[in-house]
Amino acid sequence: MSEILTQTKNSSAYVYIGEYIRKRKQYKKQKFSE
């Protein structure tokens, strides 16, 4: 049970980090295009 809980926490954190990186890349592209 605890293993599933940690896996869920890890995956949600991974998704959060992925979104953060994607937003940073988009932000950088916007700065360059201006």
pTM over the 0.85 mark:
no
Count how many domains the chain has: 1
Q: What is the pLDDT of residue 22?
A: 92
Q: Which domain holds residue 27?
A: 1-34
Alpha carbon separation from 2 to 6, 8, 16, 17, 19 (Å, rounded): 6, 10, 21, 22, 26
Q: What is the pLDDT of residue 2?
A: 74
For the stretch 1-16, pLDDT in tens is 678 777 777 788 888 8
Q: What is the pLDDT of residue 34?
A: 61
The span from the CA of 30 to the CA of 34, in Å, is 6
